[in-house]
Amino acid sequence: MKNRITELFKIKYPIIQAGMVWCSGWELASAVSTAGGLGLIGAGSMHPETLSEHIKKCQKATSNPFGVNVPLMYPQVEEIMKIIVDLNVPIVFTSAGNPKAWTEPLQEEGIKVAHVVSSLKFAKKCEEAGVDAIVAEGFEAGGHNGREETTTFCLVPMVSKGISIPLIAAGGIASGRGMLAAMALGAEGVQIGSRFAASVESSASQKFKDLIVGSIEGSTELMLKQLTPVRLIKNKFYDQVKAAELSCANTETLIKLLGNGRAKRGMFEGDLDEGELEIGQVAALIDHVDRAEDILKEIWNEYLLEGKKLGEMIISAKQ
| Smallest distance from a second copy to CB 275, Å | 22
Angstrom distances, CA of residue 215 to CA of 193, 219, 243, 283, 287: 15, 6, 21, 6, 9
> Interface with a second copy includes 154 (CB under 8 A)?
yes
Candidates 42-50, 76-84, 92-100, 154-162; binding stretch for a second copy (CB under 8 A): 154-162
Shorter beta-carbon distance to a second copy: residue 147 or 236: 147
239 near a second copy, rule: CB under 8 A: no
E strands in 44-120: 66-71, 91-95, 112-117
- When binding is defined by CB under 8 A, the residue of 68, 282, 292, 296 that contacts a second copy is 282
Q: Of the listed pieces 29-37, 84-92, 133-141, 263-271, which binds a second copy according to CB under 8 A?
A: 133-141
Task: Determine how many CB atoms are found less than 10 A away from the CB of residue 273.
Answer: 11
Measure the CA–CA gap between 212 and 194, rounded to whole angstroms.
8
State which residue, 143 or 171, has the beta carbon closest to a second copy. 171
**Residue 114 lies near a second copy (rule: CB under 8 A):** no
Among positions 121, 236, 256, 288, the unique one binding a second copy when judged by CB under 8 A: 121
Among 26, 139, 238, 268, binds a second copy (CB under 8 A): 139
The backbone region for 173, taken as left when phi is positive above 0, alpha when psi lies in -120 to 50, beta otherwise, is beta
Counting contacts by CB under 8 A, is residue 53 touching a second copy?
no
The yes or no reply on residue 317 touching a second copy (CB under 8 A) is yes
Provide, for the chain, the percentages of residues in helix, strand and coil under a 3-state DSSP scheme, each rounded to the nearest 5.
45, 15, 40
The residue from 56, 104, 130, 184 that contacts a second copy (CB under 8 A) is: 184
Closest of 200, 194, 211, 208 to residue 262, by C-alpha: 208
| Residue 230 in contact with a second copy, rule: CB under 8 A | no
Cα 110 to Cα 71, 146, 242, distances in angstroms: 20, 30, 45
For the chain, give the longest Cα–Cα distance. Answer: 62
Is 164 near a second copy (CB under 8 A)?
A: no
Residue 82 near residue 103 (C-beta atoms within 8 A): no
User: Which member of 61, 87, 101, 310 binds a second copy (CB under 8 A)?
Assistant: 310
Query: Measuring CA to CA, how many Å separate 306 from each of 54, 182, 302, 303?
Result: 36, 13, 6, 5
262 and 170 Cβ atoms separated by less than 8 Å:
no
Count the site residues for a second copy by CB under 8 A. Answer: 57
75 binds a second copy (CB under 8 A): no
Residue selected from 125, 177, 207, 264 as contacting a second copy according to rule CB under 8 A: 177
Distance between CA atoms of residues 176 and 1, nearest Å:
15
Closest alpha carbon to 164 in 207, 133, 203 = 133
Q: How far is CA 277 from the centre of its chain?
A: 15
Least distance to a second copy, CB of residue 132, Å: 22
Contact window for a second copy (CB under 8 A) among 16-24, 38-46, 153-161, 200-208: 153-161
**Chain positions contacting a second copy, by CB under 8 A:** 1, 119-121, 138-140, 147-155, 157-158, 161, 171-173, 175, 177-178, 180-186, 217-218, 221-222, 246-248, 281-282, 284-285, 303-304, 306-308, 310-315, 317-319
